[in-house]
């Protein structure tokens, strides 16, 4: 295409007003027939890993050969992660909302023939409620979805994130158009203040207050000013930011543009970790499409306001999620944090006033501008308004992404939505807040999940990872895990963090080997205090939290390691022994074939046994045995 033609074409796409946007929206909606079936296949990271790309391809080819009349041929749509990843690949048939799970390519033909052509249901693909064994037909009746309040995630699973017309049809960019045509920047800031929104990146700092102090800094220092998306999501076990960027990239972008309008910024940055290639791809596409439509770039919607943004890929350093480290990383340097006596809103990127917010925080902004701060403030609880997205992982039946109003009890998330621990036992603890957080024991299962209540319980909201642990998970091991993670990720600039964390980890290493004394527990406590008080950045100062909370709630388990040389959960390698239960062993020989040191003996169809002297405790036999015959104590 000639440059000229290209310019003309993109000119034709350009929206010049709220009316233009509404007209386009109506056009898109008018072209759609609400009764026409639509086959929605989840193309989130989880489902893709389970083969959903092959499923959608198979559905496409089944459609091609089905001989369905052209006018009733269903549309196929691929979406971002619908949250119920453990049951993927997911396929939903709309408008009926029939929900198929664990779909394989070979099911495609049957789905087309039965459900699309005959209107019947393929029963074996339905979700079975584990509590009563009933099969559930519709998406909205599945307990996992029924108890959620999907506000931030409302588009994900409905829109194709790579097609801006889907976003526009579902009301995307309405908030931006509203703000640009009917609100002053000051009014936007006020709406955010009214909403009570607190940042979703960890510490829960009120977003309105952050923007307000940036405005004060701008009064002093003038422009330029920058707006930045924190899409680093370094918290292991967390994937809500990933899901939002992949599944609804325009929501993040629209929030960012609104923030830029409120603060008068003309340039923004999206700092996204390089481990998230699909998020980077979808954000890039979204930005190109928004630019072509005149929603990003020069003179947005003909309002006279110009703003553009670019993506920076992170390079694999957890500490770069920290604000000052993130800025130095965007500037092209090693991501070392700096002391925070100067606040980022005053001196952020290139020493200029900068507002950094988390992905989920930005995605909330269009909702607030659209429906009003008052509407938002009514969701949740007084000091934690709105909803929060959690990634529920670990020993829980319904692993996935969950959105609930702030303040619901922990048990609602883990037991009602998550379906509890496999096997039905009560959970042992829920680790929240990642490496900066702590473990909440079962006795506190009614703790409301909001910023302040979690802190009171000794943990933290953090980015929203919830890791459910059962009695096969060892708290000493979890403490070691987080310490080792942070030890590796620490920038090493200040002593308390560099030396303190290593020393704490060494003590826990000893515990896991059955060495150590009660005196060491006291050392752990005093080291924790010293690190909390003197580390330069929050990576160090919050690092002792997982150890402190587990010491508080699970001291017995620590003592078992130290005084009795036992790991009650059966995790710490040096304190456990594997054995085979002769009652359960069928002599299938699988374990013996897999054992890397060949220390399992036994004849075919006869009981096998482990030579514990040779066993290296790799656990492979236990993972291999289909008959639960391998024990560990």
Ligand X SMILES: Cc1cc2nc3c(=O)[nH]c(=O)nc-3n(C[C@H](O)[C@H](O)[C@H](O)COP(=O)(O)O)c2cc1C
Residue 102 contacts which entry, ligand SF4, other proteins, ligand X, none (Cβ below 5-8 A, type-dependent): none
Instruction: Between 105 and 458, name the residue whose CB sits nearer to other proteins.
Output: 105
* Helix, strand, coil shares, percent, the chain, to 5: 45, 15, 40
Report phi then psi at 356, rounded to 5: -110, 125
Burial code of 22-59, b = ≥16 C-beta within 10 A, e = fewer?
eebbeebeeeeeeeebbbbbbbbbbbbebebbebbebb
Instruction: Between 116 and 399, name the residue whose CB sits nearer to ligand FES.
Output: 399
Q: Does 498 bind ligand SF4 (CB under 6 A)?
A: yes
DSSP code string of 100-156: E-S--GGGHHHIIIIIIII----GGGSEE-TTT--EE-BGGGSHHHHT---STTTTT
Instruction: Between 242 and 608, name the residue whose CB sits nearer to ligand SF4.
Output: 608
Interface segment toward ligand X; rule CB under 6 A; list 1-9, 64-72, 90-98, 350-358: 350-358
Residue 42 contacts which entry, ligand X, other proteins, ligand FES, none (Cβ below 5-8 A, type-dependent): ligand FES
Tokens 């046994």, residue? Answer: 609
x-or-dash string of contact with ligand SF4, 323-352, rule CB under 6 A: --------------x---------------
Smallest gap, in angstroms, from Cβ of residue 218 to ligand SF4? 28
How would you classify the pairing of strands 226-231 and 267-272?
parallel
Q: Does 313 bind other proteins (CB under 8 A)?
A: yes
Instruction: Between 379 and 417, name the residue whose CB sits nearer to ligand X.
Output: 379
Smallest gap, in angstroms, from Cβ of residue 478 to other proteins? 8
Stated as kind and residue range, the H or E segment containing 41 is: strand 38-42
x-or-dash string of contact with ligand X, 11-40, rule CB under 6 A: ------------------------------
Residue 334 contacts residue 138 (beta carbons within 8 Å): no
Residue 497 contacts which entry, other proteins, ligand SF4, ligand X, none (Cβ below 5-8 A, type-dependent): ligand SF4
Residue 238 contacts which entry, other proteins, ligand SF4, ligand X, none (Cβ below 5-8 A, type-dependent): other proteins
Rounded to whole angstroms, the Cα distance separating 345 from 210 reads 7
Rounded to whole angstroms, the Cα distance separating 166 from 155 reads 9
Longest CA pairwise span in the chain (Å): 82
What residue ranges in 273-407 does DSSP mark as E strands? 308-313, 354-358, 380-381, 384-385, 387-394, 400-405
Smallest gap, in angstroms, from Cβ of residue 233 to ligand X? 5
Q: Does 465 bind other proteins (CB under 8 A)?
A: yes
Smallest gap, in angstroms, from Cβ of residue 52 to ligand FES? 7
CB atoms within 10 A of CB 574: 12
> What part of residues 590-609 is at the interface with ligand SF4 (CB under 6 A)?
590-591, 595, 597, 599-600, 608
Instruction: Between 86 and 453, name the residue whose CB sits nearer to other proteins.
Output: 86
- Cα(first)–Cα(last) distance of the chain, in Å? 70
Q: Which of 125, 359, 469, 475 binds other proteins (CB under 8 A)?
A: 469
Residue 633 contacts residue 577 (beta carbons within 8 Å): yes
Residue 549 contacts residue 467 (beta carbons within 8 Å): no
Instruction: Between 85 and 551, name the residue whose CB sits nearer to ligand FES.
Output: 85
Rounded to whole angstroms, the Cα distance separating 400 from 83 reads 5
Residue 394 contacts which entry, ligand X, other proteins, ligand SF4, none (Cβ below 5-8 A, type-dependent): other proteins
Residue 578 contacts residue 612 (beta carbons within 8 Å): yes
Q: Does 551 bind other proteins (CB under 8 A)?
A: no
Rounded to whole angstroms, the Cα distance separating 213 from 620 reads 55
Contact partners, residue 398, CB within 8 Å, separation at least 6? 84, 86, 87, 144, 392, 417, 418, 419
Query: What are the tokens at 354?
Result: 């900068």
Instruction: Between 203 and 632, name the residue whose CB sits nearer to ligand X.
Output: 203
Rounded to whole angstroms, the Cα distance separating 375 from 367 reads 10
Residues that bind ligand FES in the complex, under the rule CB under 6 A: 42, 44-47, 81-85, 88, 90, 236-237
> What part of residues 578-597 is at the interface with other proteins (CB under 8 A)?
594, 596
Query: What are the tokens at 270?
Result: 């999206």
Q: Does 619 bind ligand SF4 (CB under 6 A)?
A: yes
Residue 545 contacts residue 436 (beta carbons within 8 Å): yes
Number of chain residues interacting with ligand SF4 (CB under 6 A): 41
Smallest gap, in angstroms, from Cβ of residue 538 to ligand X? 3
Instruction: Between 272 and 474, name the residue whose CB sits nearer to ligand X.
Output: 272
Residue 251 contacts residue 154 (beta carbons within 8 Å): no
Residue 358 contacts which entry, ligand X, other proteins, ligand FES, none (Cβ below 5-8 A, type-dependent): ligand X
Q: Does 499 bind ligand SF4 (CB under 6 A)?
A: no
Q: Which of 80, 89, 202, 259 binds ligand X (CB under 6 A)?
A: 202
Please identify the residue of the shown chain whose CB is closest to the bound ligand SF4: 540
Smallest gap, in angstroms, from Cβ of residue 537 to ligand SF4? 3
Instruction: Between 404 and 625, name the residue whose CB sits nearer to other proteins.
Output: 625
Stated as kind and residue range, the H or E segment containing 230 is: strand 226-231
Binding site for ligand SF4 (CB under 6 A): 319, 337, 490-494, 497-498, 535-537, 539-540, 578, 580, 585-591, 595, 597, 599-600, 608, 610, 615-621, 624-625, 627, 629-630
Binding site for ligand X (CB under 6 A): 199-203, 205, 230, 232-235, 319, 321-323, 356-358, 361, 463, 537-539
């Amino acid at each position: 295409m000639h440059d000229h033609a290209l310019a003309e074409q993109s000119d034709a796409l350009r929206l010049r007003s709220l009316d233009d946007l509404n007209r386009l929206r109506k056009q898109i909606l008018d072209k759609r027939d609400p009764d026409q079936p639509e086959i929605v296949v989840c193309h989130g990271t989880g489902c893709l890993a389970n083969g959903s790309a092959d499923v959608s391809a198979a559905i496409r080819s089944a459609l091609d050969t089905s001989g369905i009349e052209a006018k009733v041929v269903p549309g196929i749509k691929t979406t971002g992660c619908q949250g119920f990843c453990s049951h993927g690949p997911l396929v939903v048939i709309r408008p009926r909302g029939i929900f198929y799970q664990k779909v394989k390519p070979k099911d495609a033909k049957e789905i087309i023939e039965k459900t699309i052509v005959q209107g019947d249901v393929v029963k074996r693909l339905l979700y079975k409620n584990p509590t009563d064994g009933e099969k559930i037909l519709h998406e909205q009746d599945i307990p996992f979805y029924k108890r959620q309040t999907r506000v931030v995630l409302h588009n994900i699973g409905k829109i194709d994130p790579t097609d801006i017309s889907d976003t526009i049809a579902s009301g995307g960019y309405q908030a931006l158009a509203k703000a640009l045509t009917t609100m002053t920047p000051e009014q936007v800031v006020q709406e955010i203040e009214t909403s009570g929104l607190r940042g979703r990146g960890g510490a829960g700092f009120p977003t309105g207050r952050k923007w307000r102090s940036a405005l004060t800094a701008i009064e002093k220092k003038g422009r330029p000013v920058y707006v930045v998306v924190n899409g680093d999501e370094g918290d292991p076990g967390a994937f809500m930011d990933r899901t939002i960027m992949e599944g609804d990239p325009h929501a993040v972008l629209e929030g960012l543009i609104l923030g830029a309008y409120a603060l008068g910024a003309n340039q923004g940055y999206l700092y996204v970790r390089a481990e998230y290639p699909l998020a980077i791809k979808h954000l890039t596409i979204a930005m190109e499409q928004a630019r072509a439509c005149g929603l990003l770039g020069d003179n947005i919607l003909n309002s006279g306001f110009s703003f553009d943004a670019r993506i920076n890929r992170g390079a694999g350093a957890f500490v770069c999620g920290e604000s000052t480290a993130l800025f130095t990383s965007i500037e092209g340097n090693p991501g070392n944090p700096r002391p925070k006596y100067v606040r980022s809103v005053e001196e952020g990127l290139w020493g200029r006033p900068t507002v950094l917010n988390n992905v989920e925080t930005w995605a909330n902004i269009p909702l607030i501008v659209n429906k009003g701060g008052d509407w938002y403030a009514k969701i949740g609880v007084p000091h934690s308004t709105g909803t929060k997205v959690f990634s529920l992982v670990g020993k829980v039946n319904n692993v996935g992404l969950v959105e609930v109003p702030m303040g619901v009890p922990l048990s609602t998330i883990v037991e009602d939505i998550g379906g509890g621990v496999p096997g039905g036992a009560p959970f042992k603890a829920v680790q929240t807040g990642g490496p900066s957080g702590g473990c909440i024991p079962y006795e506190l299962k009614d703790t409301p999940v909001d910023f302040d209540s979690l802190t009171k319980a000794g943990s933290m909201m953090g980015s929203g990872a919830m890791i459910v642990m059962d009695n096969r998970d060892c708290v000493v091991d979890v403490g070691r895990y987080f310490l080792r993670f942070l030890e590796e990720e620490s920038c090493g600039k200040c002593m308390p963090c560099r030396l303190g964390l290593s020393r704490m980890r060494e003590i826990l290493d000893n515990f896991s080997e059955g060495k150590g004394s009660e005196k060491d527990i006291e050392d752990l406590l005093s080291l924790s205090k010293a690190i909390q008080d003197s580390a330069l950045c929050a990576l160090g100062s919050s690092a002792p939290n997982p150890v402190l909370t587990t010491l508080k709630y699970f001291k017995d388990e620590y003592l078992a390691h130290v005084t009795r040389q036992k790991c009650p959960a059966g995790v710490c390698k040096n304190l456990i022994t594997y054995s085979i239960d002769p009652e359960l062993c069928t002599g299938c020989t699988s374990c013996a074939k897999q054992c890397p040191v060949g220390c399992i003996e036994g004849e075919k169809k006869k009981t096998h046994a482990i030579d514990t002297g040779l066993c290296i405790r790799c656990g492979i036999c236990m993972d291999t045995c289909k008959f639960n015959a391998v024990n560990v104590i």
